Structure 1
Amino acid sequence: MSRTLHKDVAIIGGGLVGSSAALALRRMGFSVVLLDKGYCGAQASGVNYGGVRRQGRPPEQIALSQRAHAIWPRLKEVIGIDGEFVRSGHLKIARTEAEMASLEAYAARVADLGLGLELVGHNQLRERFPWIAGNIVGASLCQGDGHANPRLVSAAFALAARRAGADVLEHTPVSHVEKVPEGFHLSTGPGIEIKAQFVINSAGAWADSFAEAFGEPVPLSRIYPSMIVTEPVSVFMSANIGAEGGGIYARQVDRGNCIVGGMRGEPNTDLDFSRPTGSGAVTIMNRAAALFPALRNSYAIRFWSGTEGEMADRNPVIGFSRTTPNLIHAFGFSGAGFQIAPGVGEVLAELVRDGASRTPIEAFAIDRFSRKDQGSPAGSTPEPQERDISK
């Protein structure tokens, strides 16, 4: 039998962004339904690497990243667990002089944005991080960054939203959404009808279909980050490691396991899912062994991959629709959404409550791509037009 729910806000996508938005909205007093076609946090939010870093983000993301940065140390207060969050520092290594010059240029660009980056030369790197091998030229250290366990954090946000009074509906794919005079009407696979004043599209790698249904096509593609985890070894890694130019990232948890990434998986026949490749896993393990001698004789005990949405300019889409009043988008985090997601959730709640956010998000407007095509000034923001569009 079908049933109808009447809510202030319907959120499509139960990843970390959608779940944190649901929690923030409930704490503001809004009625919320959170919908996911599978399990909340089971896609990119729950299978990512777990880096909690501000360093390396485009300058336009830093204000949002700083907002999230203030939430991570309070996770136990916010969601009931600490999510294994560790403020270990994030060390981004340079393997060439050109990469070091790039790190120096980035540090200069964000010098006034509060990251407190410290440039570390070759000799100092050897003294402070002797467990790193290879001909490393230098590095950039962001001492306040760290890492956490995405499998715990993502599910805990959804559970906290449910405890706060949100209706959390898993295995509930949205089959139809349309704008109607009184708000939005959503239909789901299990026969649940939803009427809501606001809709938040936080459907991750599947969000482009909902955006396009409302006349807002975007250049979203799918990527498949791939990770390995090693057997427990003696703790040696004192920082979350990244590399300028990519290729490897690594962190170690208190139990001694190391999580290492840097390659991509491939989609399954069912494009909702992906898997690591054998060649990619071997490549990651070899890179890790070359960079971290302590791992040269360790076993890799698990491999995995996930499906993530990537935007053409690697910045997310966050903000109001430009075609449909009360439709809000939040997707396309391009493999770097874990750290900023709790801050994004607060921003989305502010958009519902206030119509604007105290954190600048203009750079993430969904119409930025069409403005480029039309040659409009980057800062121009057309007002939303009253328009009903059905999928």
Structure 2
Amino acid sequence: MMERLTVDVAIIGGGTAACAAAVALREAGLTVALLEKRLCGAGASGVNFGGVRQQGRDFSELPLSRRARVLWDGLNAKLGEDVGFEATGHIKLARSEADMAVLEAYARDAAEYGLDLQLLGPNALRAEMPWLGPAVVGASLSPTDGQANPRVVGPAFARLARRLGAEVREHAPVRHAAHDGAGFTVEAEGVSVRSRSLVNAAGAYGGAVAGWFGEAAPVAPLAPNMVVTEPLAPLVTRSIGVVGGDVYLRQTRRGNVVLGGGRGTADSADGLARPVAATSLGAMGKSLTLIPDLAHAQVIRSWSGLDGEMPDHIPVIGPSGTTPGLVHAFGFSGHGFQLGPVVGEILAELVTTGRSASPLQPFRIERFAAWRGPYRSEGEIEH
């Protein structure tokens, strides 16, 4: 039998942003039904690198990222669980003088947004990190950035949403949604939801949901290629990226070194992504040029996951341009993990007040109104 629910807000998607929105909406006193096709937090929110970074973002994202960073400090207390957040700092490495010039320019411009980055020359860098290889000539350090365990953050928000009274339905893929002038109807596997407002947080499928309401959103599948080693003795003290984003790595509390670089294969039809052996080997080789001491580490697993990527590499966040009561948040283009908690708050603001405390103009879906045809993106991936 088809179950029927009537709520204030229906949410399509079960990633961190969606589950954080469910929490914020319940805290605002609204009834919520969240519909996830598989398991909450098991999509892009749970398979990424786990970087909690402000450094290196598009400047349009920095106000959101700065606001998000404050939330991470209190996330364990809010969720009642340890999500593994540590402010280890994020260091971005230069492998040439041209790379260093990129870091210097970024640091200068980021200061206007309140982000204080420390530029390190080769001597200062190796005084702190003597295990770096000779390919590295300098770096930019964001000392307040860090890392967390992406596998637990989304599920922790989902559990809190349930405790607060949200209807969280997993294994409930949405087939269609529509607006009849009075409200929304969302048809999913085993359940039909009637709501006053609708949140489209459907990740790589956010464009398809937007299309049901006559809005163009050219989302392409993105599959980051990830690898993890056996537990090792403490070595990598910072979360590490490089100019260009072709490799990134960090060491967990347990000692495993997580590294990524390049892309896996993505199948939008079945919603799955798979790592590519040659890509994994390439990322391992690039990691060794940064940290030669990893040469004897044993790789124990590789994986990928399905994210959504926009042509301009920044997400869609904001109200629908065609349908009152519909708000979007998708297409985070490989760097949405750190933003998830604050995007949940922003979605709740948009639903309850129609506006946000954060600047959202760069993320409006209307920027793609004139878009035509496919695109091939080779943008930087570094969660």
TM-score range, shorter chain: over 0.9
| 1:89 paired residue number | 89
Contact 2:221 2:266 in 1 (8 A): no
Contact 1:226 1:265 in 2 (8 A): yes
The offset of 1:181, in angstroms, is 2.5
Deviation string for 1:121-180 (max 9, x for gaps)? 111111111121122121100000000000011111111111111000001111121101
AA matched with 1:305: S
1:132, 1:336 → 2: CA distance? 25
Deviation string for 1:246-302 (max 9, x for gaps)? 211000011111000012111359541111111011111122222212211010001
2:289, 2:104 → 1: CA distance? 25
| 1:348 paired residue number | 347
Q: Percent identity?
A: 47
SS at match of 1:279: helix
2:257, 2:83 → 1: CA distance? 17
| 2:276 paired residue number | 277
AA matched with 2:181: P
1:341, 1:251 → 2: CA distance? 20
Deviation string for 1:220-263 (max 9, x for gaps)? 10111011110011101111000011211000011111000012
RMSD: 1.3
- Deviates most, 72-81 or 264-273: 264-273
The offset of 1:115, in angstroms, is 1.4
| 2:125 paired residue number | 125
| 1:224 paired residue number | 223
The offset of 1:372, in angstroms, is 8.2
SS at match of 1:259: strand
2:93, 2:270 → 1: CA distance? 34
The offset of 1:369, in angstroms, is 2.3
| 1:376 paired residue number | none
- Deviates most, 128-137 or 224-233: 128-137
SS at match of 1:110: helix
SS at match of 1:367: helix
| 2:242 paired residue number | 243
Deviating 4+ runs (over 3 angstroms)? 268-271
SS at match of 2:227: strand
> TM-score, structure 2 length as denominator?
0.95
Deviation string for 1:56-83 (max 9, x for gaps)? 1111111111111011111112111130
Contact 1:5 1:195 in 2 (8 A): yes
SS at match of 2:262: strand
1:365, 1:314 → 2: CA distance? 13
AA matched with 1:104: E
| 1:260 paired residue number | 259
Report the count of equivalent residues: 372
SS at match of 2:216: coil
> TM-score, structure 1 length as denominator?
0.93
The offset of 1:204, in angstroms, is 0.1
- Deviates most, 318-327 or 364-373: 364-373
The offset of 1:112, in angstroms, is 2.0
Contact 1:184 1:198 in 2 (8 A): yes
AA matched with 1:266: T
| 1:337 paired residue number | 336
1:370, 1:275 → 2: CA distance? 32
| 2:114 paired residue number | 114
1:197, 1:67 → 2: CA distance? 28
Contact 1:16 1:45 in 2 (8 A): yes
Structure-2 change in CA distance of 1:269 and 1:321 (3 Å)? closer
Deviation string for 1:332-368 (max 9, x for gaps)? 0000000011011000001111110111111100001
Question: Is 1:319 aligned with 2:318?
Answer: yes
AA matched with 2:110: V
Contact 1:290 1:296 in 2 (8 A): no
Gaps of 5+ in 1: 374-391
The offset of 1:322, in angstroms, is 0.5
Q: How does 1:6-25 map to 2 (within 5 A)?
A: 6-25=6-25
The offset of 1:3, in angstroms, is 2.2
SS at match of 1:70: helix
Structure-2 change in CA distance of 1:269 and 1:175 (3 Å)? closer
AA matched with 1:52: V
2:334, 2:268 → 1: CA distance? 22
SS at match of 1:111: helix
SS at match of 1:314: coil
1:194, 1:249 → 2: CA distance? 41
Question: Is 1:210 aligned with 2:188?
Answer: no
2:371, 2:189 → 1: CA distance? 37
Question: Is 1:154 aligned with 2:144?
Answer: no
Deviation string for 1:305-336 (max 9, x for gaps)? 00110000001000000000000000000000
Question: Is 1:165 aligned with 2:165?
Answer: yes
| 1:30 paired residue number | 30
